[in-house]
Structure 1
Amino acid sequence: MKTNVMTQSERLGDFLRLKRNSIAPETLGMIKPYRSRTPGLRREDVAELANISTVWYSKLERGKAERVSHTVISTIAKALQCDPSETRYLLQLSGHIDLAERELLTQSLSPELETMLAAVNPLPALLTNDFRDILRANDAFCQMVGFDVNALDIKQRNTVCLMTNNEQWREWLGAIDDDALMQCMQNSAALVRAAMASRVSDREWQTRLAELISSSELFAKVWESHTVRAKQEMVREYHHATLGRIELRQQYWSNCSGGAVGQLLVYIPTAPKCAQKMGISTPNRV
C-alpha cells in the first residue's frame, strides 16, 4: 500500500489552514460574515492582515508556493498570532535559517533561566543547544575558562568553533596536543549526530551542519567517522584558569524555556578540597 508523505510546502500549508481556522474573527475585532462556512478566519482575512494577495496566500495553504520570503512568513505568523515556537516552525518549513533568531536566543533568555544560571553559582554551568551553540554561561563557568564566553560574537560562541579557534578554550579542555583535540572534537561531532538522527531531512539541520563542517577542517574530518554518542554524565580533568588541573563531573539537564531549547551543563568537582577552593559547599554524609 502506497503511503503519501507530505512535502514541507504541504506541511506549511496544512499548519496555516489549521491555525487560521482556530482564530475567531471576533478576537481580532473583526465581524464574522453572515453564513460563513469557515470556523475561523477566511483566507482573504489573513491575506489582508498580512498585506499580501489572497491568491498568493491560497497557494501557500495548498502547498503550491515556492521560495516564500522570510518577510512574508514573518508577517503571516504575526497575522495569525503565532507564538515564538509556531513562528520558528513556520520559518523551518519555509526553509529560512535566521541568524538574528539565534542572536535573540542568546540575548533574551527567560527570566527563569537567568535566575537559575545565577543561582547555580559557584558551580560552573552553561546552557547550550543541539548545534553546540552556547546560549549563556554563568559567572563561575567564565571564571573557570578564563574569559567571558557571553561577550563573544554569536558566530564564535559554538564549541566546535571554540575548539578550532580559541586557545584558552583548548587549554581548559586539556586539548593541548593533536590527539586530545581530536578526541574532544569526536565527542562534539558524536553529540551533534545523535541529536540530528531524527531530523536528518530538516533543512535547518542540514544548513547548520554545513556551517560546522566549513568552520573546522577537523570537525569535517571526524564527521565522516559517523560516531554517535548520547548525552551522558562524564568525569574528566579540566584546566581551571585559577586553580589549575581539577577533576569535574559533567552533568546534563534538558531544558525547554521560551525560545531556548537545549541542555543545561553543570560541572561539579569530584574532590571535596577542590569544591572548597571553588566556594562550593558539600553535603555532610552520614
Structure 2
Amino acid sequence: MDRRVRQELGGFLRSRREGITPTDVGLPAGVRRRTPGLRREEVAQLAFISTEYYTRLEQARARHPSREVLSQLARALRLSDAERAHLHHLAGAPPAPPPGPSREVRPSIVDLLDRLPEAAAIVISATYEVLAWNDLAAALMEDFSALPRQDRNLIRRAFLGPYRNGRRLYGVSDADTFARTSAQHLRTAAARYPADPEVTGLVAELLAGSEEFARLWATHEVAARPTLCKTFAHPLVGPVAVTCDVLDITDRDQQVIIYTATPGSPSHESLRLLSVIGTQHMSLPG
C-alpha cells in the first residue's frame, strides 16, 4: 500500500472518528473536549487494538492492516455497509463474503412496511425466511409472530408444512410457479453461501422430505421469472387478488415483497376488511 493510499485511509478513519460522539458508542461523555468526536485511544479500545497502532494508521505509517483489524475498526466506528467496504478496499483487503444470508433488516425498511397501510408487505431472506412483516401481511397470510423461527421459512412451509400433499400454502393461485421459483432461488443461495450450515441443512431437509422439491432441485434451474399477480384463498374473506412488487435490498441479499389490490375492487375491500379484523380471528384451516 503506497503512501498516498495510506494517507487516504488515515484521513478516512480520522473523519469518521471525529464524526462520532462518546454517547454514540456507549462511552461516558466526560469533560468538555478540545476536538469533536472520539479520542484515538477510545477508538483503539473499542476496536481491541493498541492506541499506538491506531495512531500509526491515522498517520499513514501502518502498511498492511489485517482484515480482522479492519472489521474491528468498522464495528468500533459504526461504519455503514458502504463505508465498511470502502475501508477494506482502501487497505487492499476486500471484505470476506458473508458466511450466510443476512437476517438483520434495516430499521428504515421496517418503518417502510408500517407506512403501507393498504398493502401487505414482508421482507424475506435469500432462503425465503420471513424476517419482517406488517400487520396486513399477517392478516392476509398468517401471524408470523406466533411461529417459531424455522416455521417462518416459506420454502419449508410450502414443501414440508401443513399444506403439503396437494394443499398449497395460503391457497395461492400460483402454487406451482412459487414451488419452482423458490427452488431456483434456493439453489442460487446455496451456491452463494456454500459453507453456511443453515442453508445446507435446509436443502438437505427439503431433499429428504419432499419428492416434489427433489424433482425441482434435480433440474438445476436458476433463472426464475417474477410473479406479477396472484390470488390468496383466505379462510375468512375469500379470494384476494393482488399485484406483487418486489424490491431488492442488494447489500443484505433480501427482498421486500409488496401485495396490493386494485383500488375499488372486491379484493381491495377484502384487504381493508382484513386490516380491521387483523389476526385476532385467524386460524389455519384444518
Contact 2:241 2:261 in 1 (8 A): yes
4+ runs deviating over 6 angstroms: 15-18, 28-31, 257-260
- Structure 1 residues 144 and 248, CA, compared in 2 at 3 Å: closer, same or farther? same
CA distance in 2, matches of 1:183, 1:138: 24
Percent of paired sites with the same residue: 17
d(CA) in 1 for partners of 2:73 and 2:64?
15
Contact 2:129–2:153 under 8 Å retained in 1: yes
Amino acid of the residue matched to residue 95 of structure 2?
L
* Structure 1 CA distance for aligned equivalents of residues 184 and 79 of structure 2: 34
Deviation at 1:113, TM superposition (A): 1.5
SS at 1:143's partner residue? helix
2:184 matches 1:190? yes
CA shift for structure 1 position 132: 1.7
Displacement after TM superposition at 1:242 (Å): 1.0
**TM-score relative to the length of structure 1:** 0.57
The C-alpha deviation readout for 1:120-152, integer Å capped at 9, x for no partner, is 3xx43322243322222222222223x311343
Inter-CA distance 30–241: structure 2 relative to 1 (3 Å threshold)? farther
Q: Is the 8 A contact 2:130 2:152 kept in 1?
A: yes
Structure 2 residue 107 is matched with structure 1 residue 126? no
Are the aligned partners of 2:123 and 2:133 in contact in 1 as well (CA < 8 Å)?
Answer: yes
Find the counterpart in structure 2 of residue 252 from structure 1.
245
For residue 258 of structure 1, report the CA deviation from its aligned partner.
Answer: 9.9
Q: How many residues align?
A: 233
Q: Are residues 1:115 and 2:109 paired?
A: no
**Per-residue Cα deviation, 1:239-269 (whole angstroms, up to 9, x for no partner):** 212123x252341131549978522321436
Counterpart CA distance in 1 for 2:220 and 2:34 is 55
Gaps of 5+ in 2: 21-32, 89-93, 274-286
Say if 2:228 and 2:245, in contact at 8 Å, map to a contact too: no
The letter of the residue matching 1:130 is A
List gaps (5 residues or longer) in structure 1.
1-9, 32-40, 281-286
Q: TM-score, normalised by structure 2?
A: 0.57
Instruction: Confirm or deny: 8 A CA contact 1:46 1:79 kept in the other structure.
Output: yes
Counterpart position of 1:93:
95
Q: CA deviation at 1:215?
A: 3.5
Q: 1:139 aligns with which of 126, 135, 141?
A: 135
Relative to structure 1, is the Cα distance of residues 239 and 172 closer, same or farther in structure 2, using a 3 angstrom cutoff?
Answer: farther
d(CA) in 1 for partners of 2:216 and 2:160? 17
1:23 is matched with which residue? 13
Q: 1:237·1:247 contact (CA, 8 Å) conserved in 2?
A: yes
Does the residue aligned with 2:126 lie in a helix, a strand or coil? coil
Letter in 2 for 1:51: F
Residue 73 of structure 2 aligns with an amino acid whose one-letter code is I
* Alpha carbons of structure 1 residues 17 and 265: separation in structure 2 relative to 1, 3 Å: farther
State the Cα distance separating 1:162 from its structure 2 match: 1.9
Partner Cα distance (1:17, 1:211) in 2: 45
Q: Which letter maps to 1:105?
A: V
- The CA distance in 2 between the partners of 1:277 and 1:168, in whole Å, is 23
Change over 3 Å in CA distance of 1:272–1:111 after alignment to 2: closer
Who is 1:276 aligned against?
Answer: 269
3-state SS of the aligned residue for 1:242? coil
Structure 1 equivalent of residue 204 of structure 2? 214
Is residue 2:156 matched to residue 1:156? no
Sort the Cα spacing of 1:234 and 1:137 in 2 relative to 1 into closer, same or farther, 3 A.
Answer: same
Relative distance call for 1:268 and 1:226 in structure 2 (3 A) is farther
Distance, in Å, in 2 between the alignment partners of 1:182 and 1:110 is 29
One-letter amino acid of the counterpart of residue 160, structure 1: I
SS in 1 for 2:74: helix
C-alpha distance in 2, partners of 1:112/1:163?
Answer: 28
Change (3 A) 1:225 1:209: farther
- 1:259/1:185 CA distance change after superposition, 3 Å: closer
- Maintained 8 Å contact 2:123/2:131: yes
Output one character per residue of 1:1-57: Cα deviation in whole Å (capped at 9) or x when no partner. Answer: xxxxxxxxx9xxxx99965541227727899xxxxxxxxx99x997665223659x9
Structure 2 CA distance, aligned partners of 1:17 and 1:162?
53
Q: Residue 116 of structure 1 aligns to which amino acid in structure 2?
A: R
Change (3 A) 1:96 1:141: closer
